[in-house]
Each structure stands twice: as C-alpha cells, then as structure tokens.
Structure 1
Amino acid sequence: MNRTTQIRTLPAALVALAAVGTMALAHVSATSPLPQNGPPLRDGEGAVFAMTNATAGNEIVVYRRAADGTLARLNRSVPTRGLGIGVDTDTQGPLRLSPDNRYLYAVNPGSDNITVFE
C-alpha cells in the first residue's frame, strides 16, 4: 500500500496570524510519499519525529517506536521543502503534532516558513 501525505509550506508570519484566529490558511504546495518500512503499527507502537535542520534542505527523520520504547529509524527521511540553518539545535522543538494527531508542523528557520504534513 502506498500512502501519501500532503505538505503545506506557509510563511511563518501567516502562521502567527492564524494562531490568533485572524485568518485561515490553506495553501497546498506538494505531495510527498510517507516512508514505508515493515508492517503497520500495532497496539502500543508509535512514531517519533526529528528534523535535520540542514541548510541544503530540511528533512523529517522518522523512527518507529516499539511497545517497549525502543526506536528503529526508517530507511529514508521526508523533505520539508524548506531550509534549516545548519546549526545543531533541538531537533524536536521545531516539530509539533496537532492534538488530533492529524498534522505535523515543522518550522524551517532558514527559509522562514512552516511545513504542515497531513
């Protein structure tokens, strides 16, 4: 089964305005396949996300979290289509998962935008 995710890249200023409820955002810029490794998640399993912060192109690194908490990195990363700043900073801080687990928000500090994965 080939799953895809929609990616929305938004200017950071627009996201700040949306956060206070002054405007709605809905700009779809691309579609990217999700990494597929192994069987679907089972009860107690999950995913962990980190970000590269690379100046040549920011990417989300995806790990499978087993029920016992061990992590296994999936074979490939997912590009954000934004840029990092190349400094080893917190790789999880610029990532947020929506309360309903539907969207993953990624801040791209080098290109001053936010990518939304659905």
Structure 2
Amino acid sequence: MDTSEELKKRFTQLERPNALFAINDLTLMGVLRFVKENDIRVPEDLAIINIDDVPFADIYTPMLTTIAQPTFAMGKKAAEQVFAQISQKRKGKPRVFRFSPILKERTSIRQKDR
C-alpha cells in the first residue's frame, strides 16, 4: 500500500492522527503531497517529524522537524575501519559503533496543550 492510500484510510477514521513520523524521505514526500492535496494544516491539524535531515527541511513552510543522522561521522568511522583493516592485512572482528542522532526541532510540531 502506498503512503497516499494509507493516509486516506487513516484520515477517514473517527480518530484521525494528530502526528506522523515519516521513516524515510520517500514516505515524507507522500505525506507532504497528501497534506497539500487535502488542505491539512501543519502543525495545527497534523504534526510531522522525519528521519533524516532532508536538504529542504528548513526552507519548507512550516520548517520540518527532523531527526538527523551524523552521516559525516558515520562515513568517517567506516573509512577509518576499512583503512585499518587494509593496512593491518588482517580481518578484524566485526565492531559496532553507535552514533547519537540529533533532534532538530522546527515548526512542523507544536507543544501539546497543557
């Protein structure tokens, strides 16, 4: 099922979602298209958060809240590991490196009424 069909299904229910979490850029594009075609106000009617800090996140209106991955640091660490294995001419044990994502809170979400 594509994003548009799933959103139509969700928005025809009695309890409509008040927030969406787009897990990738393709899903985000479907959400943004659906919001525009159905005159849904962001963040008044629907809050949106996306994984990945898409290049247009801070120029879209409203600016999109994103969870940015430290891709430069991830790529650098991967390259270091590859070069270390090449220079040592041995296969090392697989290692796990964890990187902290960064929440970039912008205007596509709003504070819950207290």
TM (norm. structure 1) is 0.20
Q: In terms of Rg, which structure is larger?
A: 2
Bigger fraction of residues in strand: 1
Bigger fraction of residues in helix: 2
TM (norm. structure 2) is 0.21
